[in-house]
Structure 1
C-alpha cells in the first residue's frame, strides 16, 4: 500500500470515528474560518471530498449534503466556489452532479443567493457545462450575494453590477475585448456612464493599456465629468523598500517567474511523467520551491495570477555563493542627442532640466548616445563593444556642422508654469557637403534601411561632437538640471537594432554611471530615468540621493515595447510603487486621451511626466498642463515655454 493510499485510508477511518455532532462542527466551522470541505475543494482533492460527503450521508437527515456544499465561509464562498476559482474541474463536476442528484431544498433565499453567485462565476469563466447543470436548480435571474445576476449582460446593456458599478461595457473595455465593445456600443451602451469610483469605460481602457478600445468608446459620445478619479481616500502607506535588511556589500537578487516581455513565452515545463493517482486532479498537486540565501518561497502550480509585479527577493551576504535552487514536487495532502551648447540653449529657452541618454563603452566610460549602435562607420556596432577613443573618432571623421534654432532642441524637461527665459544661442551655417558621403557609408545599416536616415548625421538634425558624461558635467552650468536616461538594451531592442543580445553586466553598467555622477554631480539637480525596469530597480536600491523615474509607452500604439511592466499605466503604477520610484514618464498619447488619469497617478504619491512629439504642440501641452501634469519632456522648448507663460 502506497503512502498516499495509506493517508487516505487513515482519513476515512478518522471520519468514521467522529460523532455526528463533532462531524457537523468540523464540516461547517473552524477556528481559522476554513471548514474542512472548503480546504479540500480549494486544493482539488477529489477523493477526499468524496469521503466527506459519504460520511455526511451516514449522519442523518438533519445534516444533509446540500447544507455542507452550500455552506459559506467568512468570505461568503462555498466549496463550489473554491473548486471553480482554482480550476479543479473534476471537483466542480462532482459537486455539481451531487447537488442535482440530491434534489435538496434550494428554495431558501440564502441558498439561492449563493447558487446565484456561483452561476455568475461560472458564466464569467465560460464554464458552459457547469451553467447547464446549475441552471436546473436555480433561477438565472436570482441576484447573487453581490447584487448581480448570471444574466447580467442580457438584462440590458447598461445594467451595473454591485461591487464596482461596472456595466458590460466596462468589463469588455478593461479586458480589451474590441468585438464586445463594438457590439455593446452598436446596441446602445451608454459610454458616458461612470462607475462607483468615478471612472469611465474610456479611462479604464486607457489605464489598462487598451488605447484602440478607448478610442472606440471616445468616438461613440462625449462625457461630462462630475467626479474626480484621484483616490484621495486611500490611506497613506509606507512604501516597500527592498533595501531594508541589506547591508553594504550584500547582493540583492530580484527573481521574476516567467518572461517579463509580452509574447516572449518559453515552452511550459511538461509534468506528464508524474503519474496521476486517485487522490485528486494532478494539476492541483504540484508546487515550486525557490530557495536561496536561507530563504524559501513556495509557489502553487499552475501559476494563474499575474506575477508581473510580484518578484522574489533574496539577499546574499557579502562573499556568499550566489546559488538559487528550483524544486518541483508533488504536494501530499498531509503537508502544508544634443550636447553642451544645445543644453545651455535649452535652459536659456525655459527648460529646468535637459534629458540625454547615457550608455557605457567597453572600457567603462559613460558616453552620451541615443541609438544602441554607432553605425557611422557603415556597420552596426553596439556602444558597449567600442572604446571611448573609437567612439570619439566616429565624431571626428564627420565634417562641419550646423546647429538649428533652440526651438528645435531635443529632449528637454519643462516644469509646467515655469517662467520662460530669453533665448541666447542660435547658430547656423550652409548645407554640409560631406553629408552625402556619410549617407553612402551608412546605407547598409539597420537605421538607414528602415528610416532612410541616421539621427546622428550632421546636416540633417541637431548634432555636436560626440561627448562623454564627464564632458557635460564640465561644460554645462551647474544650474542646469540633468535628466539622465540610462540606456540598456533589452532583448526586443537588440533585435530591432540588429545587434547581438548581449551587453555589459547590468550592475557594472549602473555602478559605472553612478560613480561618475557621485564624482562630478555636486549640487546639480539630477534625475535618473530608464525604460529598462531592472535599471530602475538597481538605481532605487543602490542610491538615495537622486529620484528615479520609470519610462513607459503605456500601451501606445503600435505596441513595439514588449515589456510587461511597461504594457499599460496600471502595471507601471504598481511597479513604481513596489520599488519606491519617484514617478513615471508616460507617452503623452494616453494622458491626452484621458487627462484625468494624470491626477489619478499623482494620487499614489508619484510624479507624473510625459514625453513624445505631441508635447511640442501647444494645444496638447495646454491640455496636460491644466490636468495637473508635473513635467513635460519635449523638443521645442522656446515655443512651449511661451505657451505655458500665457497660462500663468
Structure 2
C-alpha cells in the first residue's frame, strides 16, 4: 500500500504493551495503558479507536487450549522470590486460577496452580526468556502521547465503586495470585531489572483464542502471532513442538474464521472499511441513540430486500486474518498446512541475536520469506527507518512489508513508512496515534487521493 493505498494501523496486543511509570525514586506508580494487554477489553477498545486489526500472541496450554498471552511464563508471588511456571506447563484451569480475573477462585484452586508451578522447578533465580522482542529496549525516535495516565496504587487500584481492585481485577478481598512483571519503563523504554506488581485499572481475564473470535466483530482483522518458547540458542525448533502448537491453533481458526474473504491480501478489501467500533459514542444516551438509528436502518434495509427479492443478498463478511511468527520453522509449517490465510515472517532483522542465521539480517529475512513462500515480512520500524531501501528490495521480490516497535508511535515515522510503501504498522500508543489521525486506522502516503482514506 503506502503509495498505492493507505497504510493500515494495527493495535499491538490491543491498546498496546503494558508499560510502567515510576516516581523519582524508581517506585512504580501506574501501568499504562489502563487495559491489560492481550485481553478482549483491550482489543475492543483498540477497535473503538479505529484500528483496522489487532495483533496478539497465541500460546497453547498443557491441555492443548490456544490462549492469548505474550510472556513465556506467568510470574506471581513475592517479588523477591517469585514463581514462574511456563504457560505450556499449565492447564487452562490453572492459568485462569493464577490470572483469570484476579483470583476469582478458591484458595485450593490457586494452591493447585502454585503446586504445578513448583513442580516444574521455577525458581526465583530464573529470569524470563529474552527471546521476546517486545521486552527488549528500543531506541525511541519520539512518541505521540495521548496524555491519559491511569494511576494505580501498589497492590491495587480504586475502581470507583468503593472497593479495591486487586492485581488481576478481583474485588472484595477474595484470595488471589499477585501477578508480577519485568516492565519496560514508559518514559525511558528501558527494560526493568526487578519484578513489579502487574495491576491494570481496566482488567480482564486471559482469553482463549476461541473467545476472541466470538467477541470481536468480523470487520476487525487479526494478526495471529504464533508465540514459541524455544531459546535463542536453538537453530531449529523441534518438529513435535511445532506440531503441538499448530494442531491446537489451526482447527480453532478454521472453525470460527467465517467465510474466506474474496481478496488474496490481508490488507485489501473489507478490512479497510469503517466498522461498528470506530468512533463509537461515549455516552449511554448517545449509545442508545446510535442503537436506535442502527435498528431503524436495519429495518429499512430488510424492507428494501423484501421489495427486491430478485436481488442477490451479500454473503457474510469474512474476517481478515494473517499468521506471523518469529520462528521460521513455524512459518514454513503454517504455509504447508494451510493456504487460506497469508503467512508473514516476523523478524528482528539482526536487532536480536540468534543461532538461526535466518533471523539475523535484513537480506536473510527477505531471502527466507521468498524461498518459503511468505506473503511478506514484519520487521522492527527502528531497523527499517535506517534502511528504507528495504521497501524497494521487498517489492522487487513481491513481498509486503509491515513494521512493529515503539517508533510507530511517532507520526513522522509512520508518514515516512506510508510514503515508502509499507502496508501496515503495528502501534502501541493506539489512543494517541489514532486521535492524531482523526480516529482513522490508516495513514495516507503523500500524493494519494483523499477518497482512499478509510
- TM-score if structure 2 supplies the norm length? 0.55
- Post-superposition offset of 1:347: 2.0
1:367 aligns with 2:67: yes
Distance change in 2, residues 1:389/1:399 (3 Å): closer
The correspondence of residues 524-535 of structure 1 with structure 2, limited to 5 A, is: 524-535=319-330
The residue that corresponds to 1:389 in the other structure is 93
**2:324, 2:389 → 1: CA distance?**
24
Using the TM superposition, give the Cα deviation of residue 488 of structure 1 relative to its aligned residue in structure 2, in angstroms.
1.0
Hey, what's the Cα distance between the residues in 1 that align with 2:371 and 2:150?
A: 47
Q: Would you say the 8 A contact 1:572–1:584 is kept in 2?
A: yes
Equivalent residue for 2:251, pick from 501, 515, 520: 515
Matches within 5 A, 1:319-334: none
Out of 204, 214, 234, the position equivalent to 1:464 is 204
1: CA distance, partners of 2:48 / 2:167: 32
Question: Which residue number corresponds to residue 552 of structure 1?
Answer: 347
Residues 580-619 of structure 1 mapped to structure 2, 5 A cutoff:
580-619=373-412
Q: Measure the CA separation in 2 of the matches of 1:525 and 1:535.
A: 20
1:541 to 298, 322, 336: 336
2:356 — aligned with what?
563
Shift of the 433–611 alpha-carbon distance from structure 1 to 2, 3 Å rule, reads same
SS at match of 2:71: coil
Tell me if structure 2 keeps the 8 A contact 1:488–1:532: yes
Post-superposition shift, 1:376?
2.4
More strand by share: 2
What is the CA distance between 1:467 and its match in structure 2? 1.0
Which ranges of structure 1 fall in alignment gaps of 5 or more residues? Answer: 1-336, 401-410, 412-422, 495-500
Q: Which residue of 2 aligns with 1:623?
A: 416
Instruction: Report the Cα distance in structure 2 between the residues aligned to 1:520 and 1:430, rounded to whole angstroms.
Output: 37
Please name the residue that 1:140 is paired with. Answer: none
Q: How many angstroms does 1:603 deviate by? A: 1.7
> The residue matched to 1:492 in structure 2 has which SS?
coil
Q: How much has 1:590 moved relative to structure 2?
A: 2.1
Q: Is residue 51 of structure 2 the alignment partner of residue 351 of structure 1?
A: yes
In the alignment, what sits opposite 1:434?
156
8 A Cα contact 1:376 1:438, kept in partner: no
Structure-2 residue corresponding to 1:153: none
The 5 Å alignment of 1:570-585 reads 570-585=363-378
- Following TM superposition, by how much is the alpha carbon of 1:636 offset from its aligned partner in structure 2, in angstroms? 2.0
Give 1:362 deviation, angstroms.
0.4
Alpha carbons of 1:376 and 1:397: their partners in 2 closer, same or farther (altered >3 Å)?
Answer: farther
Aligned-partner SS, 1:376: strand
After TM superposition, give the deviation of residue 536 of structure 1 in Å. Answer: 0.3
Contact 1:380/1:446 (<8 A) preserved: no
1:481, distance to aligned residue in structure 2 (A) = 0.7
Question: In the aligned structure 2, how far is the partner of 1:640 from the partner of 1:367?
Answer: 28
Change in CA separation of 1:638 and 1:447 when aligned onto 2, cut-off 3 Å? closer
The alignment yields a C-alpha RMSD, in angstroms, of 3.6
> Taking structure 1 as reference, are residues 463 and 438 closer, same or farther at Cα in structure 2, changes over 3 Å only?
closer
Q: Which has the higher contact order (CA 8 A, sep 6+)?
A: 2
Deviation at 1:618, TM superposition (A): 1.2
SS at match of 2:421: coil
Contact 2:97 2:103 in 1 (8 A): no
Structure with a larger share of its residues in helix: 1
Q: TM (normalized to structure 1)?
A: 0.39
In the alignment, is the contact (CA less than 8 A) between 2:325 and 2:331 conserved in 1? Answer: yes
Do the aligned partners of 2:156 and 2:167 also contact (CA within 8 Å) in 1?
yes
Moved more, 516-525 or 501-510: 501-510
Asked if the contact 1:484–1:529 (Cα under 8 Å) also holds between the matched residues in 2, the reply is: yes
